[in-house]
Amino acid sequence: MKTSIAMNLAREANLDLVEVSAHAKPPVAKLIDYGKFKYNEKIKAREARRNQSTAEVKESRFRLKIDDHDFEVKKNQVSRFLEGGDKVKVSIMLRGREQSRPVGGIELMQRLADEVEEFGTVESAPRRDGRNIIMVLAPKGKKVHKQSEQRRRGADSREERQARQQARLKAKEEAQKAAAQEAKEALASLGKGSSAAEQTDSESENPQTSTKKTSSRPADEGEGKASPKEGK
């Protein structure tokens, strides 16, 4: 199909003519909504970045003469790193006479590897590097990577969750204020209605008494006028 014909078809359909394969013979083009196409490509790229495992190399330093409590603290730290999908570089610095007894450092490394084997495996065995003994641990299994990715996604969307929570709280407060205002207006309206009813009742009683008094006056006047006739 000629390019001019394709362009006319694109105008009639209110779409865009986009070349999707320039190296094909003949080149391939499609009639699509280019804005929607770019949006979908952006979504796909974002999902691809999320699915990539971006493992970092953490570092944890031990001492050869470490007590049991400090060892447990360091071990838990290494376990968290491995569970998070990151590699861990473990190092022990040998000081003074410790340099003549590197076996103790290797044994300590092996003890650590045995106690964290649930979360990681030894990628690089303990080795001497100058005054240091170094070992590298790698996370174990795809499950750990998935958990790490879930935590990263959770961290990325933490601000969004906080914003949504604040919006919900604000909406709730506004609804409570509106309800309180409506209740206040209803009570005020009810009070005005009661006052008007009481005033109407009192007015309905007063005309009766005034009518009685008014009706008695002509009778009195009539009696006063009749007395002179009787005198005559």
What distance in Å separates the CA atoms of residue 198 and residue 1, rounded to the nearest whole number? 90
CB 127 within 8 A of CB 141: no
Answer yes or no: do 42 and 71 share one domain.
no
Condensed to tens digits (0 to 9), the pLDDT of residues 222-232 reads 444 444 444 44
Q: Where are the alpha helices (DSSP H) in 25-130?
A: 34-51, 68-83, 102-115
| pTM of the predicted structure, to 2 decimals | 0.41
Q: Which of 45, 25, 26 is nearest to 37 (CA)?
A: 45
Across the range 209-215, mean pLDDT stands at 47
Each residue's pLDDT tens digit, 70-129 = 999 999 999 999 988 889 999 998 888 888 888 888 899 999 999 999 999 999 999 988
User: Could you say which of 139, 157, 181 is where a domain stops?
Assistant: 139
C-alpha of 34 from chain center: 32
Structure confidence by residue, pLDDT tens digits, 45-55? 887 776 665 56
Co-location of 63 and 45 in the same domain: no
Closest CA to 75 of 91, 55, 60: 60
Amino acid of residue 152: R
Which of 139, 156, 186 is at the close of a domain?
Answer: 139
Which of 123, 139, 155 is where one domain is finished?
Answer: 139
Integer Cα distance of 74 and 1 in angstroms: 69
CA–CA distance, 125 with 123 (Å, rounded to integer): 7
3-class SS of residue 192: helix
Residues 71 and 128 in one domain: yes
